[in-house]
Each structure stands twice: as C-alpha cells, then as structure tokens.
Amino acid sequence: MVAASSSSAAGNKTIIEVTVVGKDRKGVVADITNFIFQNGGNIEKINQNVVRGLFGMQLEASFARAKRKELDDGLKDLAKRLQMEIKVHYQEPDRLRNVAILVSKEPHCINRILAGRKKGEIKANLAVVIGSEPSLKPVADEAGIPFHSVSHTDQAEAERNILDLIEKYNVDLIVLARYMRILTPNFVWRYPNRIINIHPSLLPAFPGAYAYVQAYERGAKIVGCTAHFVTEDLDQGPIICQESFKVSDSDTLETIRKKGRELEAATLFEAVRLYLEDRLEVYWGKVLVHKSPKGKATTTTSS
C-alpha cells in the first residue's frame, strides 16, 4: 500500500522521515500515525510493505512547530513498546547534504562524482566512502574522504556495519557507484528514495551484473544505462535518468564496455545532481523531475 501527497510541504515547516522495521505485527501503522497526529504533525507520504514476515514502513510528516526532543523521546518509547526499530531523519534545507558513496572495484562512477564536486557542479559534503573491498581506498584518501572497507562474508553483519557508518556520518543520500552487492529489504527500507544506483542497461531489460555481455551476445543495437532509486525489488526502483548509445558493427565487447562505463558515470552523476538540487519527487512509483527545486515550478516526468 502506497499513498503520497501531490506536493511538498512549503514554507518553514519541519519535515521528518520516519522508518519502521521489525517483525510484522498488528497495529503498528495505527500506533505510529496516531503518534504523529497527537504531536501536531501532518502525514505527507506513507509507504508500507511486508516481505517474509519482515515489516517495513516509511512515513514523511510535516510539523508547523516541531519539538524535536519530544518527538525523539516519544518515538524511542514507541519503538520499545512495539519491539521494532524506529529511526527519524530531519530534513534541514540550510545544511549541505551528507553523501555516502558505496563502491567495489570500478572507479569510473566515483571519479565522476569527485570531479563534479571539485568543479562546483554539485554542492554536497561527501562524508564517507564505503567499499566492499579496499581497492578504491587510494581514491578516497586522495580526495580527503574517510574510507571504510566492509567485508561481506556475512551479509547481515556487513549491513549492520554499513548502517552504523551511515548513522555515524548523518548521511542524507547513499550513492551506489558500481557497488557490486545486493542490499536486502532490511537495509533498503530504512532509506526510502535516498539510495541511488546505476545499472548498466535500459531497465527493465538485461537485469543483473552482466548486462553488457548479454547485450553483446544478443546483438543489441542500442545499449544504455539507468540511474534509479533502490527498492526491495532488485533493479525495479523508480527510474531517474536513462541514456543510451548505438552499437556499430565494428564494436567489440570491450568498446561497448568502455562506452558504457563513460555513460554510467555521467548518468549517475546527473541523478545525484538532480537529487542534491531538490528536483526529484517520487509519486506513485514514478520520478517527477522538477525544472527547479520542488514546489517552485511545474514538473516533467523522467523517461
């Protein structure tokens, strides 16, 4: 079940995002929404799901006068009573967004983001780089960004470690810059529409990690990539940007990969830029791309 408002709260209202994760049980939605209403909040968006007995809910609410300590303490008490994990993220428009970049071995996407920041094409605090292995530590070190390597021998433990780092650095946006690991619903639900991934094909075709091989072997005439928000369904999240290039008879697998990597870096960077400029809004599973920051102009639907 998904419900959303057609516009963002305006003015000087405080916007909070509440995520709830835990074993499915009755009454959770009612308890959370009642708490919001009792504290003077208005629910702007709500999304909930259950997968294999695991309940996840994301809620966005606006407050004319938010009493942060009372909200934090009340939700902590509610989490204990419901025996669920409840986290709150406050949207603070006057603060630079904190960005976490998750990587594996390939450097092209993170390099484009770093170059964009250096050129002033994006305004953000690149707070931390997290690698599934240490290959790209020198890249982060050169840029002066803390690097943490998290082994995925045990997926649950790895995700707990990453979640701890995300919380430590007060991260607003998570960018998967060719991060070759699949995040579980237990992780993804905590950051609704705040995780951006780049996939090396025009989704929904050619899912998985070997998209260019599939495209080459099947003689695709057009190859591309897709930047999208991450959901619990693999490679099925709302699409932000898509770009493509034509394949010529002289192209080899290696030339297709080279062109594809260049396009991936550019497309992921564009999605990150639009997010940081507050120009993206997810409405009923589709991304609306605003011509200017949300609520200040008309919108166009991304392709």
Q: Where are the domains of the chain?
A: 2-91, 95-191, 195-303
Identify the band that residue 3 occupies on the pLDDT scale cut at 50, 70 and 90.
Answer: very low
Average pLDDT over residues 217-237: 82
- 3-class DSSP state for residue 226? strand
> Is the domain 2-91 a CATH 3.30.70.260 member?
yes
Bridge partner list, 42: 62
What is the reported pTM? 0.78
Known catalytic residue at 24: no
Average pLDDT over residues 48-61: 85
Quick check: 198 and 268 in contact, CB under 8 A? yes
Predicted pLDDT at 11: 52
| Lowest mean pLDDT, pick from 11-15, 18-22, 84-88 | 11-15
Please state the CATH superfamily assignment of the domain spanning residues 195-303 in this structure: Formyl transferase, N-terminal domain (3.40.50.170)
**C-alpha closest to that of 106 among 178, 174, 198, 176:** 178
Predicted pLDDT at 301: 37
More confident residue, 25 or 126: 126
In the set 24, 235, 251, 278, the catalytic residue is: 235
DSSP code of residue 162: H
CATH architecture, domain 95-191:
3-Layer(aba) Sandwich (3.40)
> With b meaning 16 or more CB within 10 Å and e meaning fewer, what string describes 225-258?
bbbbbbbbeebebbbbbbebeebeeebeeeebbe
Most confidently predicted of 18-32, 110-124, 150-164: 110-124
Average pLDDT over residues 152-162: 90
Predicted pLDDT at 207: 60
Predicted pLDDT at 178: 95
| Lowest mean pLDDT, pick from 4-8, 170-174, 222-226 | 4-8
* Strand residues in the chain grouped as ranges (E): 2-4, 14-23, 41-51, 54-63, 85-91, 98-103, 125-131, 147-149, 173-176, 195-199, 222-229, 239-246, 280-283, 286-290, 299-301
Are 2-91 and 195-303 the same fold in CATH? no
Percent of the chain topping pLDDT 90: 48
